[in-house]
Amino acid sequence: MINKLSQLLNAANISLSDQQKQQLVGYVELLHKWNKAYNLTSVRDPQEMLVRHILDSIVVSPYLQGERFIDVGTGPGLPGIPLAIVRPEAHFTLLDSLGKRVRFLRQVQFALGLGNVEPVQSRVEAFNGEPPFDGVISRAFASLNDMVSWCHHLPAKEGRFYALKGQRPDDEIAALPPQFRVTEVVALKVPELEGERHLVTIQSV
């Protein structure tokens, strides 16, 4: 697993410490183990998880600005856990409404010694989000419109929304309310992943 991860990181031009690699592999092992009982992800093969969960999450790291982030609808911790491992100086709140997912996240936090994550069980619209966040991140979440309307209370004044998408969502971008503007759309390269990946960054005007 470490060898495979190292190959993928090299292909993506990402350099991590041995400890970070161990933590990422440890997370995949926990995900694989708990998946049998908790059904956390449809991806069953740990090698495939390295591509579709780990690399797919951490390729966005260079585009994130700030220190405090919230991953809304984090599920089993994606992209929040991999990002927290590669950005130990930043803090990640991992928000999900399902208790079993949050229990899994607490186990990951404990097993991997991640002091920079905080799993929270809540619906996003009920979460007070104080102090506000530098970045609101979502992966495979609702439409951009739903994201900004449900999460509008979470970013700081200069904060940003980061939406991880597949194909470039031009229809969703066009449908955004006028008080929000897209500041960047980045085509992401994920080694060994089929299909397109884009990061859409949004700010309130």
Binding residues: 73, 78, 124-125, 139
Three-class DSSP labels, 91-114: EEEEEECCHHHHHHHHHHHHHHCC
Sign of CA dihedral 162, 87, 5, 95: negative
Closest by CA to 130, choosing from 166, 93, 184, is 93
**C-beta atoms surrounding 125 within 10 Å:** 10
DSSP for residue 78: T
DSSP code string of 130-199: -SPEEEEEEES-S-HHHHHHHHTTSEEEEEEEEEEESS--HHHHHTS-TTEEEEEEEE---TT--S--EE
Binding residues for S-adenosyl-L-methionine are 73, 78, 124-125, 139
